[in-house]
């Protein structure tokens, strides 16, 4: 990090430490870091959101870059083992609702723009396509958003990450893709890192992609920009009128608030806190369950929304008891990541089971639940009896932290 060298974005707070170099993003993580969507490398510049002169100057600056969104997807160039966002100068961005994402160490500003449907397809034509891109991959790219679900070539139904379906309404943010067919079989028994790299190689080139597919391959800056932009876009897409009087709102604060022109009320992006918890028993076995709405074999740790008037720790205990009949103690927060599909903040916890360990699943929500030792998990994954959530999810990271090393294979 070199932000302390001076910020052309002027008068940016140096952040904690006041004059010292800002800490790395990792240093802002909780006890457990390494969450794919909890990254970022730009100053969000919240102090400038109401400064229209500054915003206009930033938009006119030739260094400024714009992340164009179409229905929460962006244009991504997938390379061999990584991916990058395609960011365009303001002059090439379509018209649409605009929000400030931040300013980097070099003083370049970043905006997001919600373009009209299909805008990414026309953007592709404007962006250089390097030789070697697969025409086939581009051709069907418009329908493909969740390649991460399908590394094995065996799961054809969409498998949203557990965070995407538990809490329930999170699945609604992105379109499903029902008929994905990878061009080749992924090798078996590979690590998740290898699978992610395989996905990039299997479908290289330039295409619209969602957070779930691209985030794990993006660098810190791009992952942070994309997550921030998707969160704002999903809010704007579903909150267009004043909740008090029904008048259409106007966007203010560089896209981070709305104001009602009739009654003057201000409205801010809605974020739904949800807890997700890795529960262990006295033998240090891990509790994994399958939600009734998930495909066969998909399992994860338990999760649920925090209810009104409830602390996060209380929500952990309540959800575990409701879904499996297990009582927990030592509920301990370990870290969080945004999950803007459409608007959650996932709060990660560890908890210890006490008392009766027999699992009594709530048949409404949970189809099955089991305790796994590390060896049992290793065997079940190797035999493809179960699939774990993808690396972009906080669930994956929590399970990995308990497992003690990179999780083997298959999701
Ligand atoms: Zn109103």
Same structural domain, 289 and 359: yes
Q: Determine contact, residues 277/319, Cβ cutoff 8 Å.
A: yes
Domains of the chain: total:
3
Ligand 1 centroid to residue 258 C-alpha, Å? 10
Give the pLDDT confidence score for residue 186 in this predicted structure: 44
Report residue 365: phi and psi, to 5°.
-110, -40
Q: What CATH number does the domain containing 357 carry?
A: 3.90.79.10
Ligand 1 centroid to residue 97 C-alpha, Å? 20
User: In which residue ranges of the chain is pLDDT below 50?
Assistant: 1-19, 131-162, 164-189, 411
Same structural domain, 312 and 244: no
Residue 34 in domain: yes
> Residue 305 pairs with which residues in a beta bridge?
274
Ligand 1 centroid to residue 239 C-alpha, Å? 13
Could you give the count of Cα atoms lying within 13 Å of 139 in the half-sphere of its Cβ?
4
Ligand 1 centroid to residue 54 C-alpha, Å? 28
Give the CA angle between residues 55, 58, 60 to the nearest 5°: 110
Give the pLDDT confidence score for residue 270 in this predicted structure: 96
Residue 89 in domain: yes
Boundary (domain end) residue, out of 195, 219, 238? 238
Ligand 1 centroid to residue 257 C-alpha, Å? 14
- Tens digit of each residue's pLDDT (9 = 90 or more) over 95-135: 999 999 999 999 999 999 999 999 999 898 887 555 444 44
Q: How far is CA 156 from the centre of its chain?
A: 22
Whether omega for the bond prior to residue 326 falls within 30 degrees of 0, making it cis, is no
Residue 60 in domain: yes
Residue 229 in domain: yes
Give the pLDDT confidence score for residue 169 in this predicted structure: 34
Ligand 1 centroid to residue 245 C-alpha, Å? 4
Ligand 1 centroid to residue 259 C-alpha, Å? 8
Ligand 1 centroid to residue 106 C-alpha, Å? 40
Ligand 1 centroid to residue 346 C-alpha, Å? 30
Per the structure, the complete domain to which residue 246 belongs is given by 239-267
Same structural domain, 398 and 280: yes
Give CA–CA dist 74/103, Å, rounded: 19
- Tens digit of each residue's pLDDT (9 = 90 or more) over 392-407: 999 999 999 999 999 8
pTM (predicted TM-score): 0.80
Ligand 1 centroid to residue 241 C-alpha, Å? 8
Report the candidate in 236, 235, 214 with the shortest Cα–Cα distance to residue 225: 214
Ligand 1 centroid to residue 249 C-alpha, Å? 8
Tell me which H or E stretch contains 230: helix 220-238
Same structural domain, 259 and 336: no
Ligand 1 centroid to residue 266 C-alpha, Å? 9
Residue 307 in domain: yes
The rounded radius of gyration (Å) of the Cα atoms in the chain is: 22
Give the pLDDT confidence score for residue 204 in this predicted structure: 80
Give the pLDDT confidence score for residue 2 in this predicted structure: 39
Ligand 1 centroid to residue 269 C-alpha, Å? 16
Could you give the count of Cα atoms lying within 13 Å of 227 in the half-sphere of its Cβ?
26
Ligand 1 centroid to residue 92 C-alpha, Å? 34
Give the pLDDT confidence score for residue 9 in this predicted structure: 40
**CB-based contacts of 25: which residues, under 8 Å, 6+ apart?**
38, 39, 40, 41, 220, 224
Give the pLDDT confidence score for residue 30 in this predicted structure: 82
Quote the longest CA-to-CA distance of the chain: 64
DSSP state of 117: T
DSSP result, 33-74:
---TTS---SB--GGGTT-HHHHHHHHH-TT-EEEEEBTTBE
Give the pLDDT confidence score for residue 33 in this predicted structure: 85
Ligand 1 centroid to residue 268 C-alpha, Å? 13
Ligand 1 centroid to residue 247 C-alpha, Å? 5
Give the pLDDT confidence score for residue 210 in this predicted structure: 96
Ligand 1 centroid to residue 250 C-alpha, Å? 11
Same structural domain, 258 and 380: no
Residue 180 in domain: no
Ligand 1 centroid to residue 251 C-alpha, Å? 13
Provide the b/e sequence for 324-343 (b: ≥16 CB within 10 Å).
bbbebeebebbbbbbbbbbb
Provide the b/e sequence for 209-248 (b: ≥16 CB within 10 Å).
bbbbbbbbbbeebbbbbbbbbbbbbbbbeebeebeeeeee
Give the pLDDT confidence score for residue 221 in this predicted structure: 97
Give the pLDDT confidence score for residue 131 in this predicted structure: 44
Ligand 1 centroid to residue 235 C-alpha, Å? 17
Same structural domain, 212 and 102: yes
Q: Is 163 exposed, middle or buried (0-12, 13-18, 19+ CB in 10 A)?
A: buried
Same structural domain, 288 and 222: no
Ligand 1 centroid to residue 337 C-alpha, Å? 32
Ligand 1 centroid to residue 240 C-alpha, Å? 11
Same structural domain, 281 and 391: yes
**CB-based contacts of 69: which residues, under 8 Å, 6+ apart?**
112, 113, 114, 115, 229, 230, 233
Q: Determine contact, residues 138/77, Cβ cutoff 8 Å.
A: no
DSSP result, 128-185:
---TT--HHHHHTGGG---GGGGTTS---S----HHHHSSGGGGGGS--------SSP
Report residue 152: phi and psi, to 5°.
-85, -15
Same structural domain, 311 and 230: no
Give the pLDDT confidence score for residue 197 in this predicted structure: 61
Same structural domain, 103 and 34: yes
Same structural domain, 244 and 314: no
DSSP result, 7-41:
-TT-S----TTSSSPPPPGGGGS-SS---TTS---
Residue 179 in domain: no
Give the pLDDT confidence score for residue 191 in this predicted structure: 63
Residue 353 in domain: yes
Ligand 1 centroid to residue 108 C-alpha, Å? 36
Give CA–CA dist 103/111, Å, rounded: 9
Same structural domain, 246 and 314: no
Ligand 1 centroid to residue 98 C-alpha, Å? 22
């Amino acid at each position: 990090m070199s932000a302390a060298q001076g910020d052309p974005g002027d008068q940016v707070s140096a952040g904690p430490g006041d004059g010292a170099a800002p800490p790395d993003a990792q240093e802002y993580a909780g006890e457990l870091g390494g969450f794919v969507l909890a990254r970022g490398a730009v100053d969000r510049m919240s102090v400038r959101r109401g400064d229209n002169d500054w915003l206009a100057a930033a938009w006119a600056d030739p260094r400024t870059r714009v992340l164009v969104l179409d229905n929460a997807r962006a244009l991504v160039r997938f390379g061999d083992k990584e991916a990058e966002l395609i960011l365009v100068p303001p002059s090439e961005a379509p018209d649409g609702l605009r929000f400030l994402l931040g300013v980097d160490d070099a003083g370049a500003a970043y905006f997001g723009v919600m373009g009209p449907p299909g805008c990414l397809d026309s953007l592709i034509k404007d962006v250089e396509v390097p030789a070697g891109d697969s025409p086939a991959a581009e051709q069907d790219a418009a329908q493909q958003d969740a390649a991460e679900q399908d590394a094995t070539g065996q799961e054809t139904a969409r498998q949203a990450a557990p965070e995407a379906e538990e809490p329930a309404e999170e699945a609604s943010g992105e379109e499903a893709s029902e008929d994905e067919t990878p061009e080749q079989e992924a090798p078996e028994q590979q690590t998740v890192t290898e699978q992610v790299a395989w996905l990039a190689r299997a479908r290289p080139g330039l295409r619209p992609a969602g957070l779930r597919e691209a985030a794990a391959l993006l660098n810190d800056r791009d992952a942070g920009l994309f997550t921030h932009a998707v969160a704002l876009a999903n809010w704007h897409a579903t909150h267009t009128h004043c909740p008090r009087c029904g008048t259409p709102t106007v966007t203010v604060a560089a896209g981070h608030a709305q104001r009602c022109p009739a009654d003057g009320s201000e409205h801010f992006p809605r974020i739904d806190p949800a807890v997700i918890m890795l529960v262990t028993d006295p033998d240090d076995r891990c509790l994994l369950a399958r939600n009734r709405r998930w495909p066969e074999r998909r399992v994860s740790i338990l999760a649920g929304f925090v209810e009104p008037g409830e602390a996060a720790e209380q929500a952990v205990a309540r959800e575990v008891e409701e879904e499996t009949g297990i009582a927990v103690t030592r509920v301990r927060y370990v870290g969080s990541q945004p999950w803007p599909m459409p608007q959650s903040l996932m709060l990660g916890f560890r908890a210890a089971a006490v008392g009766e360990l027999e699992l009594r699943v709530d048949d409404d929500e949970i189809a099955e639940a089991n305790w796994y030792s590390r060896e049992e998990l290793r065997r079940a994954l190797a035999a493809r009896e179960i699939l774990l959530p993808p690396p972009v999810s906080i669930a994956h990271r929590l399970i990995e932290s308990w497992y003690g090393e990179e999780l083997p294979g298959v999701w």
